Amino acid sequence: MPHPRTLINPAALGMAMAAVFAAGTAAAAATDLYYERSLMAEAGDRCDLFTPQLQSALVSAREQARGAALRGGSSVQDLRGIAERARARARSTPCNSPDLGTAAQRVRSGFAGYARLLRQDFPGDVGLWKADRSVSAQRPLWRLSQDVRQGGIQMRLGIASRVGSDSLMVVTSFPDGARPYAARIVMRDRRLTSGPYLDTRGEGLKTLPLQRRMPRVGPLETYSAESRSPAGADLLPPGMTSGWAFRFPDAAAAAMADLDPREAIRVEFLFSSGPSRQVYLEVGDFAAARAFLSIRAG
């Protein structure tokens, strides 16, 4: 943890991006980074220290540091305490504090390049989120996506943009040409649980199957797709020649962003005859990638 008399550890900030993005980041270093980003994100919002794009970049990096700390062994409760301490420190520091001004300038120097990035990969233990801040008024495009193949099912889940409107979507195809009439996303109910469900009995977290990263039975919450249609060619991932597209409510994306990055969610496809089919997907750094998309060009 940074020295109590300093707002930010300069050495840690200098290694900020490398430490957050590097595999195997030590939990102690990640918690330091999480504290610093939480503090400066809170101070930046309260004191209007940064441009909107830099503030969004800082929030994205804060969420990545949180994910790295959790994967490194920190508990959810520990990180809640760190966030609260950072929030209290930011709120007790005057906006015209010279120390805060110095720390804010270090953040501007450290994150200016990151705020200009258009594309960024967010790797997890199992899956990979690909984020793209490009926009197009002519065709739909994926701004955030993770590709999954399980049991012959090919699926892409992410955030697709059409004429400036973002939607959480799933595009999928089945090897036997099956036609699902509905789809739903199932995840741990955050309102009725105090933390993630990770069944690590006899298994290390890095190799833990996705099915053991969420409760088998309640408490669960479900988000049903709001629409279904044949997937347009612009939304088909590589290797998929045709498929079905499902659009989900914004609340589903917000709920996913609130989950632990080590958790999994389940996408269920329903058919008029025969059992449902399921695909599991790692939450990963969905929250950080989603925050990255909010960085405005500037």
137-147 confidence digits (pLDDT tens): 777 889 999 99
pLDDT the model gives residue 297: 57
pLDDT the model gives residue 163: 67
Put simply, whether the predicted model's pTM sits higher than 0.95 gets the answer no
pLDDT the model gives residue 16: 37
pLDDT the model gives residue 241: 93
Q: What is the mean pLDDT of residues 111-128?
A: 87
Q: Measure the CA–CA gap between 13 and 108, rounded to whole angstroms.
A: 11
pLDDT the model gives residue 19: 37
Find out whether 276 and 258 touch, Cβ atoms under 8 Å: no
Q: What is the mean pLDDT of residues 23-52?
A: 84
Both tokens of residue 178?
A: 């099956």
Q: Is the pLDDT of residue 80 over 80?
A: yes
What would the pLDDT profile of 34-46 be if each residue is shown by its tens digit? 999 999 999 999 9
In the structure, what pLDDT confidence band is assigned to residue 7 with cuts at 50, 70 and 90? low
What would the pLDDT profile of 240-261 be if each residue is shown by its tens digit? 999 999 999 999 999 999 999 9
How would you class 228 by CB atoms within 10 Å of its CB: exposed for 0-12, middle for 13-18, buried for 19 or more? middle
In the structure, what pLDDT confidence band is assigned to residue 296 with cuts at 50, 70 and 90? low
In the structure, what pLDDT confidence band is assigned to residue 71 with cuts at 50, 70 and 90? confident
Q: What percent of the chain has pLDDT over 70?
A: 89
Q: Is the pLDDT of residue 22 over 50?
A: no
pLDDT the model gives residue 34: 94
SS3 sequence, 215-273?
Answer: CCCCCEEEEECCEEEECCHHHCCCCCCCCEEEEECHHHHHHHHCCCCCCEEEEEEECCC
Both tokens of residue 113?
A: 């390049």
In the structure, what pLDDT confidence band is assigned to residue 269 with cuts at 50, 70 and 90? very high
Whole-number average pLDDT of the chain: 87
Q: What percent of the chain has pLDDT over 90?
A: 63
Q: Is the pLDDT of residue 17 over 60?
A: no
pLDDT the model gives residue 289: 94
Which residue has better confidence, 265 or 71? Answer: 265
Both tokens of residue 4?
A: 């109590």
In the structure, what pLDDT confidence band is assigned to residue 20 with cuts at 50, 70 and 90? very low
What would the pLDDT profile of 156-181 be if each residue is shown by its tens digit? 999 998 766 899 999 999 999 999 99
pLDDT the model gives residue 63: 92
